[in-house]
Structure 1
Amino acid sequence: MDHLNRLRGSLFKSVCGVLLCSAIHTTAWAATPRTFDLYMAEAPPLSMAGAPGRQGIVGDAAHQAMVLAGYRVDIHVLPWLRAQRTVQQGQDMLIVPLSRTPDREASYTWIAPIMSMDRAFFSLDKRVESFEQARRTYHRIAVGLGSAQERKLQDEGFDASQIYPLRIGENPAQMLLLGRVDAWFNGVPESQYIWRQVSERPLLMSPALMTTDLYLACSKSCSPQMVRSLRDAVQTLHRDGSIKRLVERYLSAPL
């Protein structure tokens, strides 16, 4: 009988040990932050390759939101069209800075707006006031390949011969200086940031003719829990002034 009791006690301890180890393992797994991929374009000062804290306004804001939500992040800087295709076809992949436009609406899970951005025409000698005037005035307009600006020009009836899509590595400011394009249709903060690096010549700017919110977005197939966590985190960054400080730091910083 004593032998049987000892056997039962030994078995009980073994089972408890297995359960304890399992519980510890589960707790440790749960405590390890998940890592997600974040894709972005090389579009300073909005997003750029760099160390944490030097990844642009929207890049830094997205990184801060990930940390605040308890996640880790791997940054991937790709040509913009490739980044969009990768995220659209993937699962639980994040992307910034993405304009929320009607043609993109069904392709992503929209988490939260980080900032709004005006777009305008930039030129060295011919300022315009409207899309209609721009169609009549400019023969060749630089615009980011796969960008919301490119789609806007198409929607506004610009001829394909007027639209010059630029890939990563092609500098629209230099092309404008060299006379290879007549104008540049782009985000205002990005254009002014780039222009300060290449020339001191006055840059003529149209009124803001397009404004969209720049979002932190996710693949269409995206974890609802992650969406909720990141949406709350971005809202917190807006409330506590973190995003406003990022905007001020990047747009006022000397080059």
Structure 2
Amino acid sequence: MGHLNRACGLLFTSVCGLLLCSALHGAAWAAHPRTFELYMAEAPPLTMAGEAGQQGILGDAARQAMVLAGYHTTVSVLPWLRAQRTVQQGQDMLIVPLSRTPDREASYTWIAPIMSMDRAFFSLDKRVDSFAEARRTYHRIAVGLGSAQERKLQDEGFDASQIYPLRIGENPAQMLLLGRVDAWFNGVPESQYIWRQVSERQLLMSPVLMTTDLYLACSKSCSPHMVLGLRKAVQTLHRDGSIKKLLERYLTAPL
């Protein structure tokens, strides 16, 4: 019986020690806020290089969530494929705007959705109503390199010769105007925002053919403490209307 009492005592002491360490760790975290890296693509009006408060809908939302959760942030705007690889291979690195698709599910820690994104085909003279019609109609389709829409075209059976992946700095709207591509498969608000800057010609749009939520995500190896804090912060930004205000500001304001 004495051995049992001593074993129970040791177990109690160990549990208490773990609880105390956890509490001290949480207190230290709160007293000394950490700085985390946030990776984004140049994809206005969703994310863009600029001063705080001028980094696009999801860039601003992510920064607001970080402040609300008590963290500091440094922002890096990189080509989208490089940004994804950097975050996947790193630890405690954040990324926006990331569609939560089956092929990405196991590569990230998904914190919270910030907004929903509709995708469609855009062209100047040939409107389509389906992926099947687009496969028959368009010879060359501009699409973001490493994007969810590039993967969608692959999954829908488009030939590799039909898919023209665009790197950072290549302007799909200008390519459409110059006739270098027949169509552009992209997010609706992003495409309309960019088109307003380059032309007054009518842009033909298909029905919405793809919709995903755009997430604030983290490396697969990510602090549960940070994930919980940021998830609550994003939920707060939805509840208090902050994200709705960002959508209105970026999508309706004059350029």
The match for 1:53 is 53
Where do 1:79-90 residues align within 5 Å? 79-90=79-90
The match for 1:178 is 178
The match for 1:103 is 103
1:140 equivalenced with 2:140 (yes/no): yes
Q: Name the CA shift for 1:158/1:29 in 2 (closer, same or farther; >3 Å).
A: closer
Q: Distance in 1 between matches of 2:212 and 2:41?
A: 17
Residue identity in the other structure for 2:168 = I
Gaps of 5+ in 2: 1-25
Where do 1:1-255 residues align within 5 Å? 30-255=30-255
SS of corresponding position for 2:33: coil
Q: Distance in 1 between matches of 2:118 and 2:27?
A: 47
Q: CA deviation at 1:109?
A: 0.2
SS of corresponding position for 2:143: strand
What percentage of aligned pairs have identical amino acids? Answer: 88
Q: Distance in 1 between matches of 2:229 and 2:169?
A: 35
Q: Distance in 1 between matches of 2:143 and 2:83?
A: 17
Q: CA deviation at 1:53?
A: 0.5
Please tell me whether the aligned partners of residues 140 and 182 of structure 2 are also in contact (alpha carbons under 8 angstroms).
yes
Residue identity in the other structure for 2:230 = L
Deviation string, structure 1 residues 128-168 (Cα, Å, up to 9, x no partner): 00000000000000000000000000000000000000000
Deviation string, structure 1 residues 111-137 (Cα, Å, up to 9, x no partner): 000000000000000000000000000
SS of corresponding position for 1:222: coil
Gaps of 5+ in 1: 1-25
Q: Distance in 2 between matches of 1:69 and 1:203?
A: 41
Q: Distance in 2 between matches of 1:79 and 1:170?
A: 11
SS of corresponding position for 2:191: helix
Q: CA deviation at 1:33?
A: 1.5
Q: Distance in 2 between matches of 1:28 and 1:36?
A: 16
Q: CA deviation at 1:28?
A: 8.1
SS of corresponding position for 1:195: helix
Q: CA deviation at 1:49?
A: 0.4
Deviation string, structure 1 residues 215-251 (Cα, Å, up to 9, x no partner): 0000000000000000000000000000000000000
Q: Distance in 2 between matches of 1:110 and 1:85?
A: 16
Runs of 4+ with >3 A deviation: 26-30
Q: CA deviation at 1:29?
A: 7.5
Residue identity in the other structure for 1:166 = L
The match for 2:23 is none
Q: CA deviation at 1:32?
A: 2.5
Q: Distance in 1 between matches of 2:168 and 2:136?
A: 28
Q: Distance in 1 between matches of 2:189 and 2:167?
A: 19
Task: Indicate the structure (1 or 2) with the bigger Cα radius of gyration.
Answer: 1
Please tell me whether the aligned partners of residues 30 and 70 of structure 2 are also in contact (alpha carbons under 8 angstroms).
no
Residue identity in the other structure for 1:57 = I
TM-score normalized with structure 2 length: 0.89
SS of corresponding position for 2:114: strand
Q: CA deviation at 1:31?
A: 2.0
The match for 2:18 is none
The match for 1:18 is none
Q: How many residues were matched structurally?
A: 230
